[in-house]
Chain A
């Protein structure tokens, strides 16, 4: 069965890069179900598609990533969330994990680091 992936980032370049890496690396079990550019859109798409995995930026307009994580974790407890963020301080990472994220990847990230982090969530 293929796992549904939702990609959330306010940068189109980063959304495209994550999507392309997932396709290029032929992560066989992933199907990209949506790309969201802000927090509200992320919540809408998450409720519509009920993704198994989400890559989540934190600094976004309208609704930030932490609020999104809390919302998705409450409504879709089976969804696993990988934070992909530039915010590099430890307190932010711990808060995101406490709100329901399962992994944290710092930007800028290498192709290998992203794939490894996604595989870690799939396992």
Chain B
């Protein structure tokens, strides 16, 4: 009988690198222009940054917590244009921010395996929303720029062993 997964530990540096790679891969493949991923940092105090549009993925399985992709309107409008969209409503922006969050999380499974069980995206506009805390470890913020826009991926995950 398999022992239940209960002991929690934070992500290791090489695991963090996986998420940085997913950001670079997404923008290179979707827009043809690379994103510049900056140095990740631990968010010792406060809540993960939110932006005009936010896409959150809940994680279960061998990992527990959430991933949240937060981006300004301008970045998403530009990506929509690159994808050939001709409408730029709030609904389009919310849809895209959720799709990006989902794609980044799904890509991470290439390295983490199917133990990284991900939910469909939950999306919201900037509202200073209090998000549920689903992991005990310190959230990790991965900032990046694409064109002139700054955005972040907040990774808040415990590894269950």
Contacts from A to B (Cβ < 8 Å): 10-14, 16-17, 20, 24, 59-61, 85-89, 91-92, 106-110
Contact = CB atoms under 8 A, between A and B. Distances in A.
B120 A10 contact: yes
B85 interface: yes
B76 to A, nearest CB: 10
Chain A contact surface mostly: loop
A86 B25 contact: no
Contact of A88 (B83, B85, B95, B106): B106
A85 B99 CA distance: 11
A86 B120 contact: no
B29 A16 contact: no
Interface in B97-119: 98-99, 102-110, 112-114, 118-119
Contacts of B92: 12-13
A74 B160 CA distance: 37
B110 A107 contact: no
B95 A12 contact: yes
* Max count, chain A CB within 10 A of own CB: residue among B85, B98, B106: B106
A13 to B, nearest CB: 5
A107 B26 CA distance: 8
